[in-house]
Amino acid sequence: MAPHADVAVAPVDGLVDSPAPKSDLFTVESPNVVYTEDAIKTRYVYHTTAVKRTEDGKFVASPKESVYDFKVDRKVGKVGMMLVGLGGNNGTTVTAGIIANRRNLVWQTREGPRAANYYGSVVMASTVKLGSDPETHNEINIPFNNLLPMVHPNDLAIGGWDISGMNLAEAMDRAQVLEPTLKEQVRKELAEIKPLPSIYYPDFIAANQEDRADNCIEGSKASWAHVEHLRKDIRDFKTSNGLDKVVVLWTANTERYAEIIAGVNDTADNLVKAIENGHEEVSPSTVFAIASILENAPFINGSPQNTFVPGAIQFAEKHNAFIGGDDFKSGQTKMKSALVDFLISAGIKLTSIASYNHLGNNDGKNLSSQKQFRSKEISKSNVVDDMVAANTVLYKKDEHPDHTVVIKYMPAVGDNKRALDEYYAEIFMGGHQTISLFNVCEDSLLASPLIIDLVVLAELMTRVGWKTAEAGEYRGFHSVLSILSYMLKAPLTPPGTPVVNALAKQRAAVTNIFRACVGLQPESDMTLEHKLF
C-alpha cells in the first residue's frame, strides 16, 4: 500500500513543534505540516498513475509517488483590483456589489427586502469538505475561503480604465442591471469613481462602440508609449492606495481574433517589436497584458478573444508573471460543461448541441458584429472537446457532436440574457433523448462574482510556492494559471498540457491543490470507513 502523506516522509525544515496560530478556523495535526507566523509549510506525497501502451495494444498502469514541499505566505497584504472596462455592465455591477457588501446594505424590491451578499462566488459562497467526525460520522464542511488565507472582496481597492468617461454612477444607470433602491444607496460612492482613459483600436471592436469612445489615450494602434502609459497607471494606483499587489482583469468589449503571424506575435521578442512598430495585429487586450506582466500584476482575460497570443504567453513565462483566461463562464456554458460531462459519463452519446442566445446589453451589441461574434463562438464551441475525447467507447477518433452557437442582439431583454439549448443524444438500442433548456441569465449578476473569484484566487497564487523535496528553493506555479479554469469558458493552459473543461474536474483541481497546501489528501467520496465492518 502506498504510504499516507502523514508517514514515511521527513518533517518540513525540522519545525514540527511550531504551534499553529490561534486565528485559523482549523489546523492540521501532522509532522508534515508546519505553521509559522509568516507561512504554512507542508510536505506532501502526490499520487499519480503512469500508463504505457504495450505492443499488443494493451495498457500497463503503474502507481507513482512524488514528494513536494508547499509554502503559503500567510500575510495577504493590501490588494487592488483594476478592471479594463470599469464603466461597463460588469465593472459597475461588481463595484456596486462590493460597496454594498462593505456597508451591509439592505434595499427594498417588489418581492421584499434584499441584503448584500456574494452569492455566485465560489470563494465567498461555497463550502468544501474538510473531513468527517469519527464519532457522529457527519461530514464537516467549511467555507471555501477558510482553506487558505485569502483577501476578502470587501478589502479590495477598485479602479481601472474605460473608453467611456462616464463616472460609475452614470454608467451604472446606463447598464440597467441593479435595483433602483440599491443604486440610490451606492450612488454617492460610485459618482466619485471615474475610469482612467483607455486605449482604443477601432479595428478590434465593433464599429457600433465608437459613440462610447470619449475617454481614450491618444493613438489608434499599438505603441510602446501605450504600454508605458498603462504601466504608470498601475504604479500610480498601487502607490495612491498603499497597495502591496494589483490584479488586472479585462472585462471590456470582446475583440476580434488577432491573426497569428510568424515574426509578429509568435515569440516574446517579436511581439515587443510589433508593439514598438505599431503592428495592426496587436490588440488592446494584449497591450494591457504586456503592461501588467511588466508590473508583475497578474492579468486575467474575461473575454473570448485570443489576448494571449504565443508571444504573450512566452513573455509572461520570461518574466515569471501570472496570466489567466479566457472568457467568463457564467451561465449557458457553465450549464453545458456540467450537463455534457454528466451525459457522457453516464454512457449517453450526444450527437448534437444547439445553443441560441438573445442578449440585449452592450456586450450583445458589440457581438452583433461578425468578427467579434466569431471570438465568442470559438470560446463557447470548444467547451465539450475534452469530455468527448475522454470517451472512446461512444466516440470514434475524430468523431464529435454537431455543435452550433447563435447569438442575436435583442435590446429589449437588456442584461437578462435568454439562453436556449437543445441536447440530442443516442441512447440504448437506437433510442433517442432530447433535453431542452431555457435559461434566463442575469448576465452581469452572474459574471461579477466570477470577477471576484478570479482576482482573489490569482492573488492567492502569488503567495504559493512549491518545490520537489530535493530542490533548494521554492518556486511559483507556471505563469498560465490553469487553476482558474472553473470560472472560464476557454481555459488557458500551459503550452503542451491538456485542457480540462469538465466542471467537476475543474472544481476538484482547485479544491485539491489548496488541500495539498495544508497537507490534506484530495477529497474522497469512497467513505470506506462507513463500508468496511
Same domain membership, residue 404 and residue 280: no
Return the minimum-mean-pLDDT range out of 1-10, 41-50, 363-372: 1-10
Report pLDDT for 533.
57
Number of H helices, E strands in the chain: 14, 18
Q: What is the mean pLDDT of residues 38-56?
A: 95
pLDDT of res. 532: 62
Q: In one letter, which amino acid is 62?
A: S
Decide if pLDDT at 6 tops 50. Answer: no
Q: Is residue 7 part of a domain?
A: no
Cα angle value 360/97/109 (rounded, 5°): 75
Domains of the chain: total: 2
**How much is the average pLDDT of 2-27?**
47
User: How large a percentage of the chain has pLDDT more than 90?
Assistant: 77
Examine the residue annotation and report whether 327 is marked as an active-site residue of this protein: yes
- Known catalytic residue at 408: no
Identify whether 146 is part of a domain: yes
Residue 531 lies in a domain: no
Above pLDDT 70, what percent of the chain?
94
Contacts by residues 276-280 (CB-CB < 8 Å, ≥ 24 positions apart):
276/223, 276/224, 278/221, 278/222, 278/223, 279/221, 279/222, 280/203, 280/221
Q: Tell me the mean pLDDT in the region 345-363.
A: 90
pLDDT (average), residues 145-157: 97
Do 94 and 220 lie in a common domain? Answer: yes
Per-residue confidence (pLDDT) for residue 4, from 0 to 100: 33
Note whether 320 and 224 are same-domain residues. yes
Same domain (yes/no): 367, 413:
yes
Indicate if the pLDDT at residue 370 is higher than 90: no
Query: What CATH code is carried by the domain that includes residue 196?
Result: 3.40.50.720
Indicate whether 158 and 277 sit together in one domain: yes
pLDDT exceeds cutoff 80 at 3: no
From the list 176, 196, 325, the residue with the least C-alpha distance to 250 is 325
Q: pLDDT tens digit string along 280-308? A: 999 999 999 999 999 999 999 999 999 99
pTM for this predicted structure: 0.91
pLDDT of residue 2: 35
Q: What are phi and psi of 236, to 5 degrees?
A: -65, -40
CB distance 322 to 461 below 8 Å = yes
Instruction: Report whether 312 contacts 287 (CB < 8 A).
Output: no
Pair 289, 374 in one domain = no
Say if residue 29's pLDDT is above 50: yes
**For residue 22, pLDDT beyond 50:** no
83 pLDDT above the threshold of 90: yes
- Same domain for 310 and 370, yes or no, is no
Shared domain for 283 and 398, answered yes or no, is no
Determine, yes or no, domain membership for 224.
yes
Active site residue 380: no
Among all chains, which residue has been given the C-alpha cell 455591477? 93
pLDDT tens column, 389-418: 999 999 998 899 999 988 888 899 888 889
Q: Determine contact, residues 443/359, Cβ cutoff 8 Å.
A: yes
| Domain identity same for 394 and 457 | no
Answer whether the bond into residue 326 is a cis peptide, omega within 30°: yes
**Residue 45 covered by a domain:** no
Q: In this structure, which amino acid lies at residue 355? A: S
Domain boundary among 442, 457, 491: 442
Which residue carries 498560465 as its cell? 480
Q: Are residues 200 and 342 in the same domain?
A: no
pLDDT at 323 over 90: yes
- Is residue 524 one of the residues assigned to a domain? no
- Is 397 one of the catalytic residues? no
Residue of 221, 349, 417, 443 marked active site: 417
Domain that holds residue 88: 79-328+445-501
- Eight-class DSSP state of 130: E
Is the per-residue pLDDT at 267 higher than 80? yes
Work out the average pLDDT over 317-339: 92
**Per the domain annotation, does 100 fall within a domain?**
yes
User: When comparing pLDDT for 467 and 523, which is higher?
Assistant: 467
User: Lowest-pLDDT range, 220-224, 462-466, 472-476?
Assistant: 472-476
| Cα 151 from Cα 98, distance rounded (Å) | 13
Mean pLDDT across the chain, nearest whole number? 91
CATH code of the domain containing 411: 3.30.360.10
The residue annotated as part of the active site, out of 233, 327, 341, 421, is 327
Please check the confidence at residue 137 and state whether its pLDDT lies above 90.
no
Query: Which residue, 408, 442, 476, sits at the end of a domain?
Result: 442
Q: Does 188 share its domain with 312?
A: yes
For residue 272, give the H/E element and its range.
Answer: helix 268-276
- Where does the pLDDT of residue 49 fall: very low under 50, low under 70, confident under 90, or very high at 90 and above? very high
- Residue 316 near residue 481 (C-beta atoms within 8 A): no
Whether residues 117 and 154 share a domain: the answer is yes
Over residues 211-236, mean pLDDT: 97
Residue 458, in any domain of the structure: yes
What number is the average pLDDT over the span 153-176? 97
pLDDT of residue 294: 98
Give the pLDDT mean for 307-336: 94
